[in-house]
Structure 1
Amino acid sequence: MGMIRNAAVAAAGILALSACTTNPYTGERQVSKAATYGGGAAAVCGLVGAIDSSKHARNAALGCGLVGAGVGAYMDVQEAKLREQLQGSGVQVMREGDNLRLIMPGNITFQTDSYNLRPDFYSVLNSVGQVLSKYADTTLRVTGHTDNTGGQQHNQNLSERRAGSVADYLVTRQVERSRMLVQGMGFNQPIADNSSEQGRAQNRRVELYIIPKTI
């Protein structure tokens, strides 16, 4: 019984730490409501992994946490880990309901008019891949965007190839390609004014949407 009690305490402690998110602008730690509400269920589910260290048991515990703690809590943990891993990287992490959106600016991902990843961006994608491969109960939408400089077809092709480059690299980090929808939007979905260089720089980006699977 002592082993079980210790495992329960450890599981609850791990979840409590995971439930805290970091505000990327203030650096303050804050507790997620969704993770708090699901804490009891996830702690109990964590006993599966504590008693049996096999890969099967760890996956079962993770799935149990998704069901017991709820989708919101499952995404809270991913959000917290992504914010921690990507702090200072230039990648913006946004929460939209139960979905997450990573905005990867073109100035840190690609050279001008190229779809080859910058070598210094590999470490950032390594961090993203580490989280995505662990939390596999999500689907991923990788979308490329450009500014309006140049022709429409050229920008469409460039946006598709840039999204494909990000997706291809994530596959090398054990993120299954079957989870991904890869697409390019050219310059059709700007997030800033293309009439200024600052606006065009914001529009040149790859976005990664992380969407929880329905159960």
Structure 2
Amino acid sequence: MQLKKLFAVATLLVGALLAGCQTTNPYTGEQQASKSTKYGLGGVLAGAAIGAIADGGDGALKGAIIGGAAGAGYGHYLDRQETVLRAELEGTGVQVYRQGDELKLIMPSNITFDSSKSDIKSAFYPVLGSVAKVFKEYDRNLIQVVGYTDSTGGDKINVPLSLARADSVANYIAFQGVMGERISAYGRGSMDPIASNKTTDGRAKNRRVEINLLPAPQR
């Protein structure tokens, strides 16, 4: 296939992705491409490059089609998962972050645990129940639960406490019916602070449990 023809077909693929996946930003009113579009475009480019190396122009076209479909499919899955999690967790104090193909939930310790304790607060059980419900519905993730503390107290206290809190969250999610093979728990103490430990507000932000949702290996 001639290069010009390949370029024209790739342009049509990109245009179709952009046209089909435009959304309106509810805050600005502007048109924007969804995350699934970005995954699809990345898949088109990556697939075309690999296909070209393997089989010239025809391979590039096939790779673009396959790569675009795969990329957009996974991106769309994450779009839906993120939307459901945000709806379930609105007003709970749990923050939802998206970076590439990973989703992160940040749970401040003041809403999950009493001071220096690892037993989940009774008022937080319904929130974790909602999280577990989404995890059961969307099962293409590995679930990494990580506990953190501020820098006061020293590692001898902070590391075991952070691990005990991560274990409490992980065990409750598994108790709600999420497959245990998907779940792992870690305690990192005062490592990886997200705010300054020099202020009261910063230390409060650092005392947290994070749930990282990572792509599961393809079966």
2:114 alignment partner, SS class: coil
TM-score by length of 1: 0.70
Seen in structure 2, the aligned counterparts of structure 1 residues 37 and 149 have a Cα distance that, compared at 3 Å, is closer
Deviation at residue 192 of structure 1 after TM alignment: 0.7
Q: What does 1:1-12 correspond to in 2, within 5 Å? A: none
Distance in 2, Cα, partners of 1:21 & 1:132? 27
Q: Which residue number corresponds to residue 199 of structure 2? A: 196
TM-score by length of 2: 0.69
Q: Displaced runs of 4+ in structure 1, greater than 6 A?
A: 19-23, 35-38
Q: Which residue number corresponds to residue 72 of structure 1? A: 75
Q: What does 1:114-193 correspond to in 2, within 5 Å? A: 114-193=117-196
RMSD across aligned C-alpha pairs, in angstroms? 2.8
Q: Which has the larger radius of gyration?
A: 2
Distance in 2, Cα, partners of 1:110 & 1:33? 34
The percentage of counterpart residues that share the same residue type is 45
Distance in 2, Cα, partners of 1:139 & 1:108? 24
Is the Cα contact below 8 Å between 2:146 and 2:186 reproduced in 1?
Answer: yes
Is the Cα contact below 8 Å between 1:75 and 1:212 reproduced in 2?
Answer: no
Seen in structure 2, the aligned counterparts of structure 1 residues 130 and 196 have a Cα distance that, compared at 3 Å, is same
The CA deviation string for residues 56-93 of structure 1, in whole angstroms up to 9 with x for no partner, is xxxxxxxxxx9685221111111000000001110000
The CA deviation string for residues 131-163 of structure 1, in whole angstroms up to 9 with x for no partner, is 001111110110000011112111000000000
Seen in structure 2, the aligned counterparts of structure 1 residues 179 and 80 have a Cα distance that, compared at 3 Å, is same
Letter in 2 for 1:32: S
Seen in structure 2, the aligned counterparts of structure 1 residues 20 and 116 have a Cα distance that, compared at 3 Å, is farther
Letter in 1 for 2:99: E
Is the Cα contact below 8 Å between 2:143 and 2:214 reproduced in 1?
Answer: yes
Runs of 5+ in structure 1 lacking a partner? Answer: 1-15, 39-65
